[in-house]
A and B are shown apart, each in its own frame.
Chain A
Amino acid sequence: MGVASPGFTSLNGWYFMVNESVFIILIAVGMTVVLIVGGIDLSVGSGMAVAAALSGQLLLDGVPMALVFVIVLLVGVAVGLVNGLLITYVGIPDFIATLAMLTALRGVLLIWTQGNPVLGYVTHAYGVIGGSTKIAPYLTVPMLLTLAVAIAGSVLLRYTVLGRHIHAVGGDGDAAVLMGVRAKRVKIACYVISGVLAALSGILLAGYLSQVSPGTTASGYELMAVAAAVLGGASLSGGRGSVFGACLGAIALTVITNLLSWWNVNPNWSDVLVGVLILLAALLQRAGVIVATRGGQTKRPRLADPQPVTRAPQSV
């Protein structure tokens, strides 16, 4: 690799890729939390775009930067809260509720901006926050923030009561309820975490890009985040996932997309390679799972059984 492309061995190349991948890492951490609790959050792509555009517009309107960030993060909380309430109290499946939110948020953004890009809001300070300006060699603010978020996420999932509850609800919702876990609240909390991280990622992205296009900014990021989380060991059926793994997954996806341009291969092939590598990574992960359980009783993931109809505890 290093021989074929000088960029790949240079610190500059890695700096560029890590700086690019922080936006995916942030939403992948949120996605991991949601996947562990047994949900999925497809709304994060549009959530990022709305946060980015809102940050830019409020700055243009002369609102102080700190206040802008607080407002945008609160919007992220609200989005997550609505997702969570739709899922737990209205009873809409996770996939559909957040898909509706994905579509609706993009719509709100398009109506509000009338399709016009938001630009001209970037100041030097915002450039520093967004990571387009370094604060030290090979170091940007988003990198530090992302590192902090990743550590906080790991600690939350491993060492806090909420974290244990998230695993419990994702592992077996009914059992968790019987144990006294307030499953609905736990699930709502997960969607709020994901919403806030999407808003944070959007704030940083606006500073990095210096322009927000309502129709295209962060479009499709939701599937990248799911792919990153799953590559990092999260299970789509809940109960399992790793923040650290999700970070590696997000970096791997960014590396893949950048590799081909360094190799001067026709960029049209990059989609093919991304797909093949997602498959390979999934295979490796699967092989790892098989090896890990070889000694004892082999645990094969059960195919989804339907919920028993007779007893119908209000599952999440």
Chain B
Amino acid sequence: MTRLERALRAHEGPVVVAWVVLIIVFTVGSSHFLTISNIDQVLVQSLFVVFVAIGMTFVLTVGGIDLSVGSVIGLGGAITGLLLIHGVPAWLAVLGGLAAGGFTGLANGLLITRLGLADFIVTLATLSVVQGIVEVMTANAPINYPPHALSTLTSGHIGSVSTAVVYAVLIVIVMTGVYRFTPFGRAVVAVGMNPRAARLAGIGVETTRVRAYVVSGVLAGLAGVFLASYLSTVQALQGSGYELTAIAAAVIGGTSLRGGRGSVWGAALGALLLSTLQNGLVLLGLNGYWFDLVTGGVIALAVGLGGGLQGIRWIGREKVARPYQDGSPA
């Protein structure tokens, strides 16, 4: 098996291919696409979904699903904004936003593991509960926290790159490390693959699941803080709908909905793909209404392509599929 073949058949293969194709199309279609300022803009606009999709990767890998993140984005932003209004220092306010997200994740995890309820139903319920809490908290009016309190997060620049992009890259690197190289990350994969085997191997299955939801909650809270900084205001519903986008990004990036398999950087690239798409379509002169249609097509294509690339046998080699000998992890 060649290096190229192995790379294409990695679970992140399709998203890389799809993204490169998009970049080529948009670069040919618009001279403005491949400029530093535009690339920077695409990166900044993608990072909210990047954060949420990374957290979603942990939850999906462990065999769950987290629909509550859309409201948790609003919660993280609202808590941070309200703390800032009450004169709390910015770093503490941001921590408050993250803690609120982590607490929601903890509640999700405990309800699912201790009461034995379905992940989908519990997080659908918390999606509704948290959204209601944020609506009550903000009285459905935008929170205008002191200007510039959070501006260092998304408006600062290092050279011609936004600080936000630097933060995002750091998060992707750190979380990739957590996923692949820490006992917790390995436990997440093991529990998702085979909970009973994981239990017999001495892994705390329930604890691992709860922790995965906490990771998802904290990262959704973080996305909320960054979104609050980017929009310089907080509204109750500003994260609405992000849950499905984040799941799409994670799955495009090679994460399995059945658990046991995932990729943090793949999820980040999946989010970047959607953001690139949105930006490129506007540059090509299509109005915003096209975005939904093309996004739907790209989601289906990227995932369908994934199935196709898995099945590719290079001509003249390995004509017969032999399990365990094709280099893919069994």
Q: Do A and B come from one complex?
A: yes
A residues with a Cβ closer than 8 A to B are 42, 86, 90-93, 95-97, 99-108, 110-111, 114-115, 223, 226-227, 230, 236, 266, 268-276, 278-279, 282-283, 286, 303-306, 309-310, 312
For B189-202 the 0/1 string (1 means CB < 8 A from A) is 00001111000000
Of A107, A227, A274, A283, which one neighbours B296 at CB under 8 angstroms?
A: A107
Chain B interface extent, by class: 35 or more
A303 lies within 8 A of B300 (CB):
no
Of A90, A104, A114, which one neighbours B289 at CB under 8 angstroms?
A: A114
With contacts defined as CB atoms under 8 Å apart, how many contacts are there between chain A and chain B in the complex?
159
A19 CB, min distance to chain B CBs, angstroms: 23
Of A236, A282, A306, which one neighbours B125 at CB under 8 angstroms?
A: A282
B258 lies within 8 A of A278 (CB):
no
Which residues of chain B have C-beta atoms less than 8 A from A274's C-beta?
Answer: 128, 132
B293 at the interface (CB under 8 A from A): yes
A271 lies within 8 A of B129 (CB):
yes
B124 lies within 8 A of A269 (CB):
no
Which residues of chain B have C-beta atoms less than 8 A from A312's C-beta?
Answer: 323
A92 lies within 8 A of B293 (CB):
no
A277 CB, min distance to chain B CBs, angstroms: 8
Of A42, A90, A115, which one neighbours B304 at CB under 8 angstroms?
A: A90
Q: Assuming the A-B contacts A96-B257, A107-B290, A111-B293, are A236 and B120 also in contact, with contact meaning beta carbons closer than 8 angstroms in the complex?
A: yes
B248 lies within 8 A of A99 (CB):
yes
B46 at the interface (CB under 8 A from A): no
B267 at the interface (CB under 8 A from A): no
Q: 8 tightest CB-CB pairs across the interface, nearest first?
A: A104-B296, A107-B293, A107-B292, A271-B132, A272-B132, A275-B129, A275-B128, A103-B296
Of B116, B129, B292, which one neighbours A276 at CB under 8 angstroms?
A: B129
Kindly state the separation between the CA atoms of A115 and B251 in the bound complex, as whole angstroms: 29
Kindly state the separation between the CA atoms of A93 and B65 in the bound complex, as whole angstroms: 14
A230 lies within 8 A of B67 (CB):
no
A246 CB, min distance to chain B CBs, angstroms: 14
One of B80-88, B134-142, B150-158 at the interface: B134-142
Which residues of chain B have C-beta atoms less than 8 A from A303's C-beta?
Answer: 63, 195-196
A91 lies within 8 A of B304 (CB):
yes
Can you list 12 pairs linking A and B with CB atoms under 8 Å apart? A92-B307, A93-B257, A100-B297, A100-B299, A103-B293, A227-B124, A268-B132, A275-B124, A275-B131, A278-B125, A306-B193, A310-B323
Which residues of chain A have C-beta atoms less than 8 A from B67's C-beta?
Answer: 223
B115 lies within 8 A of A283 (CB):
yes
A86 lies within 8 A of B304 (CB):
yes
B257 lies within 8 A of A278 (CB):
no
B140 lies within 8 A of A268 (CB):
yes
Q: Among residues 291 to 312 in chain B, which have CB atoms less than 8 Å away from a CB atom of chain A? A: 291-297, 299-300, 303-304, 307
Kindly state the separation between the CA atoms of A57 and B64 in the bound complex, as whole angstroms: 41
A104 lies within 8 A of B135 (CB):
no
B118 at the interface (CB under 8 A from A): yes
Kindly state the separation between the CA atoms of A236 and B294 in the bound complex, as whole angstroms: 29
Which residues of chain A have C-beta atoms less than 8 A from B300's C-beta?
Answer: 86, 90, 92, 96-97, 100-101, 104
A276 lies within 8 A of B125 (CB):
yes
B116 lies within 8 A of A271 (CB):
no
Which residues of chain A have C-beta atoms less than 8 A from B257's C-beta?
Answer: 93, 95-96
A272 lies within 8 A of B133 (CB):
yes
Q: Assuming the A-B contacts A271-B135, A282-B121, are A92 and B304 also in contact, with contact meaning beta carbons closer than 8 angstroms in the complex?
A: yes
B295 CB, min distance to chain A CBs, angstroms: 5
For B101-130 the 0/1 string (1 means CB < 8 A from A) is 000000000010001111011101111111
Closest to B65 in A: A95
Closest to A110 in B: B289
Which residues of chain B have C-beta atoms less than 8 A from A273's C-beta?
Answer: 132
